[in-house]
């Protein structure tokens, strides 16, 4: 398929079941870890699960963050999940960052990913490279058309205006989740990230640029949490 032929995912496609994003109890988390090797969850800071306290270095790191509360909640939650699935005290884990800013669960070889749209957050822990993104739905009037590829603009404009905001966010969140799974974020130009109709994700290198792994993305349907419509996208790399 050429770049210009890559139709992005639509709301008609199969979705990721948003029920899978409810904070899991310990036995559900362990079962999902055994069977899927990947756990994702939405956090609502107004109704957080029971979590371990923040570590002193996390509290220090939060001082520089635009949303200290969300930053700490995501770290406490990922250490809680890691502790459950690896059967270790959550206080034993340390969250570091790669040179490109990707979060890492030091010394485990596992992959983690974070996203925040206050008051919500989304976290993911996986055995393979993976990324997560949570976004609020926007009205069609607020779509930043200039950041889209020509083929993406054409496909979005073919939709009813009432559906365009959600369709844009589904596409954008899938791109962002894939960019995070690649560990680069938007150091990669968004127009180089292609999301196909079934959620398949592909990086289109510029001449001379190395290839990067393909991925598979899935997005939830729009769902209202605490009165806000959000969409969550997950990306898992294929290799
Ligand atoms: C990754 C990125 C797309 C996130 O966009 P956003 O809409 O602002 O924020 P989200 O809430 O969805 O995601 C934030 C999370 O992205 C993660 N992140 C940042 N850079 C990342 C990367 N290169 N790869 C994977 N994840 C990354 C962070 O863990 C952050 O969570 P935290 O605030 O709890 O640490 C954006 O930060 C980006 O493109 N960064 C490029 C990398 C960069 O600038 N690095 C600076 C050098 S260190």
The pLDDT tens digits of the residues spanning 205-227 come to 999 999 999 999 999 988 888 78
Separation of 49 CA from ligand 1 center, angstroms? 24
Candidate from 66, 124, 180, 191 with most ligand 1 atoms within 8 A of CB, to mutate: 180
pLDDT in tens, 87-126: 999 999 999 999 999 999 999 999 999 999 999 999 999 9
pLDDT in tens, 55-72: 999 999 999 999 999 999
CB neighbours of residue 235 within 10 Å: 30
Kindly state if the Cβ of 173 falls inside 6 Å of ligand 1. Answer: no
- Mean pLDDT value across residues 6-19: 60
Kindly state if the Cβ of 22 falls inside 6 Å of ligand 1. Answer: no
**Confidence at residue 10, expressed as pLDDT on a 0 to 100 scale:** 47
pLDDT in tens, 127-185: 999 999 999 999 999 999 999 999 999 999 999 999 999 999 999 999 999 999 999 99
- Token reading at 39: 């756990």
Domain edges within the chain: 3-14+134-237, 18-132
**What is the pairing mode between strands 103-105 and 95-97?**
antiparallel
Kindly state if the Cβ of 176 falls inside 6 Å of ligand 1. Answer: yes
Kindly state if the Cβ of 215 falls inside 6 Å of ligand 1. Answer: no
Candidate from 169, 185, 189, 203 with most ligand 1 atoms within 8 A of CB, to mutate: 185
**Confidence at residue 24, expressed as pLDDT on a 0 to 100 scale:** 97
At residue 8, does pLDDT exceed 70?
no
Task: Round to whole Å and give the CA distance between 91 and 152.
Answer: 44
* Ligand 1 atom 33, closest CA: 71
CATH fold group of domain 18-132:
Ribosomal Protein L22; Chain A (3.90.470)
**Confidence at residue 223, expressed as pLDDT on a 0 to 100 scale:** 85
Indicate the pTM of the whole model. 0.94
Ligand 1 atom with the shortest distance to the CA of 117: 11
Do the Cβ atoms of 203 and 211 come closer than 8 Å?
yes
At residue 229, does pLDDT exceed 80?
yes
Contacts 24+ apart (CB under 8 A), 68-76: 69/45, 69/118, 70/45, 70/116, 70/118, 70/119, 70/121, 71/116, 73/43, 73/45, 73/48, 73/121, 74/43, 74/114, 74/116, 74/121, 74/123, 76/51, 76/52
Kindly state if the Cβ of 184 falls inside 6 Å of ligand 1. Answer: yes
DSSP string, 29-83: HHHHHHHHSEEEEEEETTS----PPPPHHHHHHHTTSSSHHHHHHHHHHHHHHHH
At residue 239, does pLDDT exceed 80?
no
Architecture of domain 3-14+134-237: Alpha-Beta Complex (3.90)
Separation of 224 CA from ligand 1 center, angstroms? 24
At residue 11, does pLDDT exceed 90?
no
Kindly state if the Cβ of 185 falls inside 6 Å of ligand 1. Answer: yes
| Beta-carbon contacts of residue 62 (< 8 Å; ≥ 6 apart) | 54, 68, 69, 71, 72
Fold match flag (3-14+134-237 vs 18-132): yes
């Amino acid at each position: 398929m050429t770049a210009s032929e890559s139709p992005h995912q639509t709301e008609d496609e199969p979705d990721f079941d948003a029920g899978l994003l409810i904070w899991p109890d310990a036995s559900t988390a362990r079962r999902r870890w055994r069977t899927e090797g990947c756990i994702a969850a939405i956090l609502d800071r107004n109704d957080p699960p029971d979590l371990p306290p923040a570590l002193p270095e996390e509290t220090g790191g939060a001082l520089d963050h635009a949303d200290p509360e969300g930053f700490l909640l995501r770290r406490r939650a990922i250490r809680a999940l890691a502790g459950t699935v690896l059967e270790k005290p959550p206080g034993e884990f340390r969250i570091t960052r790669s040179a490109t800013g990707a979060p890492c669960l030091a010394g485990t070889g596992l992959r983690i990913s974070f996203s925040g749209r206050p008051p919500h957050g989304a976290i993911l822990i996986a055995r393979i490279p993976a990324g997560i993104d949570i976004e609020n739905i926007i009205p069609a009037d607020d779509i930043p058309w200039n950041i889209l590829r020509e083929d993406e603009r054409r496909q979005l404009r073919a939709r009813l205006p009432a559906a365009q905001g959600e369709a844009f966010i589904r596409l954008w969140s899938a791109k962002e989740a894939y960019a995070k799974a690649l560990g680069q974020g938007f150091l990669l130009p968004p127009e180089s990230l292609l999301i196909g109709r079934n959620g398949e994700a592909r990086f289109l290198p510029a001449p001379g640029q190395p290839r990067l792994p393909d991925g598979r993305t899935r997005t939830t349907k729009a769902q209202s949490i605490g009165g806000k419509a959000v969409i969550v996208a997950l990306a898992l790399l294929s290799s």
